[in-house]
Amino acid sequence: MMRGSCLCGGVVFEADPPLRDVIACHCSQCRKTSGHYWAATSVPHERFRLIRDTTLAWYDSSPSARRGFCRGCGASLFWQPAGEARISFAPGALDGPTELAMAEHIFTEDAGDYYAPEGPPPSKVQAPERVRASCLCGACAFTLPRPIGGVGACHCNQCRKLSGHYTASFDAPEDQVEWQSRTTIAEFVTPGGGQRGFCTSCGSSLYFRNASGDFSVEAGAVDGPTGTSLDSHIFVANKGDYYRITDGLPQLQGWD
Ligand SMILES: [Zn+2]
Ligand SMILES: [Zn+2]
Ligand SMILES: [Zn+2]
């Protein structure tokens, strides 16, 4: 039996193996909800149990599927296609070794400009002076200066639980962020005293403000090109066992 949960513990589930190997999806919906790109394993309903659903919310992301997320911490947890007797869920939510493997990458043509689904990041492309970022449902949107630095991927347990896979974000000056709408935003206070901003309507990950006030934006939230690229991986000591990092970029065990 495998057990999984969101970061705040408001949603807990169990699944009985065998679990399907992991499929990574680079479509724009998965990129917005996770903040980078989403990954999922899957089981038939009869081998899946919700143990706690106190903060579970569903967003109808299309006429044929809905996405389950935690309204407490914003974790991207489930994908449920209509009319199918299976549920997909994030391997990043699972506690302990998954003993799964990455089976394939899909919708790779929709990947962000700052990374490639496999292999090294592509060359940087042109981006506007200010970029726009938004959640999947559109209730939260803001503009900010084009990223100055690179995008950092974080494989820590917290980022894995929240995104469902791992995160990718870039530093941004919060005083230069201009909000267009933020009616459904919530901030989850992480165990380390940071604040994670997400949309309570669709569950999209938008930004993180650490305990010292440094602000970073989830790269998957950006609409159109970012004009920058992935440049490092941190906390790889905590990475999931079901994927490998194959882009040739520096891998740090912790912060440095
Ligand atoms: Zn939660
Ligand atoms: Zn939203
Ligand atoms: Zn992290």
Could you tell me if 41 and 20 are in contact, meaning their C-beta atoms sit under 8 angstroms apart?
yes
Token pair for 58:
């569903």
44 CA to middle of ligand 3, Å? 31
The verdict on 99 and 128 lying in the same domain is no
Closest-lying ligand to the alpha carbon of 156?
3
Does residue 183 form part of some domain? yes
Provide the 10 A C-beta neighbour count for residue 145: 13
**17 in a domain, yes or no?**
yes
Q: Which residues of the chain have pLDDT under 50?
A: none
Both 71 and 147 in one domain: the answer is no
Of the listed ligands, the closest to the CA of 13 is 1
Instruction: Please tell me the distance between residue 96's alpha carbon and the centre of ligand 2 in angstroms.
Output: 30
Task: Let me know if residue 50 belongs to a domain.
Answer: yes
Predicted pLDDT of residue 132: 98
Residue 29 has a pLDDT of 97
Q: Name the helix (H) or strand (E) containing 40.
A: strand 38-44
Please check whether residue 116 lies inside any domain of the structure. Answer: no
Residues 46 and 149 both lie in one domain? no
| Ligand 3 ion: nearby residues, β-carbon < 5 Å | 154, 156, 159
Cα(46) to centroid of ligand 3, in Å?
33
Residues with a beta carbon under 5 angstroms from ion ligand 1: 6, 8, 10, 70, 72-73
CATH of the domain at 28: 2.170.150.70
Q: How far is the CA of 72 from the centre of ligand 1 (A)?
A: 5
Residues 147, 221 share a domain: yes
Return the CA Rg of the chain: 17
Q: How many domains does the chain have?
A: 2
Note whether 145 and 171 are same-domain residues: yes
Ligand nearest to the CA of 210: 3
Is residue 256 included in any domain, yes or no? no
Distance 171 CA to ligand 3 centre (A): 14
Write down the pLDDT at residue 255: 85
Nearest ligand for residue 198 CA: 2
pLDDT of residue 173: 97
What is the structure's pLDDT at 175? 97
User: Do 45 and 70 share a domain, yes or no?
Assistant: yes
Ligand number nearest CA of 67 is 2
Contact 22, 102 (CB under 8 A): yes
| Ligand 2 centroid – CA 245 distance (Å) | 30
255, part of any domain: no
Instruction: Give the Cα separation of 52 and 191 in Å (integer).
Output: 21
Question: Are 98 and 127 found together in one domain?
Answer: no
Of 83, 106, 129, which residue is a domain's last? 106
pLDDT for 256: 78
> Domain boundary residue among 106, 137, 154?
106
Q: Give residue 46 CA to ligand 2 midpoint distance, Å.
A: 31
Ligand nearest, relative to CA of residue 200:
2
List, as one string, the DSSP characters of 144-177. EEPPSS-EEEE-SHHHHHHHSS-EEEEE--GGG-
Whole domain around residue 211: which residue ranges? 121-238
175 and 72 in one domain?
no
Residues 7 and 85 occupy one common structural domain: yes
Provide the pLDDT for residue 145. 97
pLDDT of amino acid 68:
98
**Token representation of residue 33:** 């909800």
Residue 180 within any structural domain of the chain: yes
What is the pLDDT, as a whole number, of residue 167? Answer: 98
* 149 in any annotated domain: yes
Buried b (16+ CB within 10 A) or exposed e, 243-255: beeebebebeeee
**Dihedral pair phi/psi, residue 199, rounded to 5°:** -90, 125
State which of 45, 71, 106 marks the end of a domain: 106
**pTM of the full predicted structure?**
0.96
Query: Ligand 2 centre and the CA of 32: distance in Å?
Result: 9
Please tell me whether residues 143 and 64 are part of one structural domain. no
